[in-house]
Amino acid sequence: MSLKRFLHITSLLLVAATGLLTVPCWAENTLEAKVKSAYLFNLTRFVEWPSNTGDGNTLLICVTGSDQMTSMISELAGRQVKDRTLKVETDRIADPARCQVLYIGRDERKAQDLLSRTRGRSVLTVSDRDEFAQQGGIVGFYEDGGKLRLEINTSAARNANLRLSAKLLEVSRVVKND
């Protein structure tokens, strides 16, 4: 094999290897968003809101601070959960207290403001921000051994007048911030 051919093949392999190394990173972020959106969708099945929440026909999921989650959750619009149709509102949420579910992405700069504006309201707050549940959010995603897990602040859920299924609590790490 000539040196020219060897360098050509080596450069092609290097380009291919570089491409292979960057794709999993992108795919991992997309996969992570898909898993989180599936969790979020399924969470709605294990939560009971007060009967006077929303219009009774729709379940409003609001998403802010994550473009990938916005994209994934938007695909769920129109699906049925507990005889309610999912409606999705994204970014620039004027009144977060209108939402039945509020997903606050880790990139959201106004996370604490959004959390305080929903405190005591019947809004299921969910986030992938570090220690979200310990800081007063209701459901926080965290990673444990390469797997996505849930932590739930039962005090915050009780203050929001939300009933969480025992099945949900069994598969979650429970935190309290009383």
Average pLDDT across the chain, whole number? 82
pTM of the full structure: 0.81
pLDDT exceeds cutoff 90 at 94: no
- Is the pLDDT at 107 greater than 80? The verdict is yes
Asked if residues 124 and 154 have their Cβ atoms less than 8 Å apart, the reply is no
One of 2.60.40, 3.30.1240, 3.30.300, 3.40.50 is the CATH number of 32-175, namely 3.40.50
Percent of the chain at pLDDT > 70 equals: 83
**pLDDT for the residue numbered 92:** 78
Helix axes 3-43, 67-74, angle to 10 degrees: 60
Token representation of residue 125:
């707050």
Give the strands of the sheet with 173-175, arranged side by side. Answer: 80-81, 84-90, 58-64, 101-104, 124-127, 139-144, 147-153, 173-175
145: tokens are: 């051994």
Q: Average pLDDT, stretch 120-136?
A: 94
Query: How do residues 130-148 score in pLDDT, each as one tens digit?
Result: 999 999 999 999 999 989 9
| The predicted structure's pLDDT at residue 19 | 33
Rounded average pLDDT over 77-101: 89
Beta bridge partners of 118: none
31-77 pLDDT, tens digit each:
888 999 999 999 999 999 988 777 778 899 999 988 889 889 889 89
pLDDT at 67: 87
Q: Break the chain into its structural domains and give their ranges.
A: 32-175
Interatomic CA distance for residues 172 and 175, integer angstroms: 9
| Cα–Cα dist 107/119, whole Å | 20
Question: Which segments of 128-172 are extended strands (E)?
Answer: 139-144, 147-153, 163-164
Q: State the Cα–Cα distance between residues 59 and 140, nearest whole angstrom.
A: 20
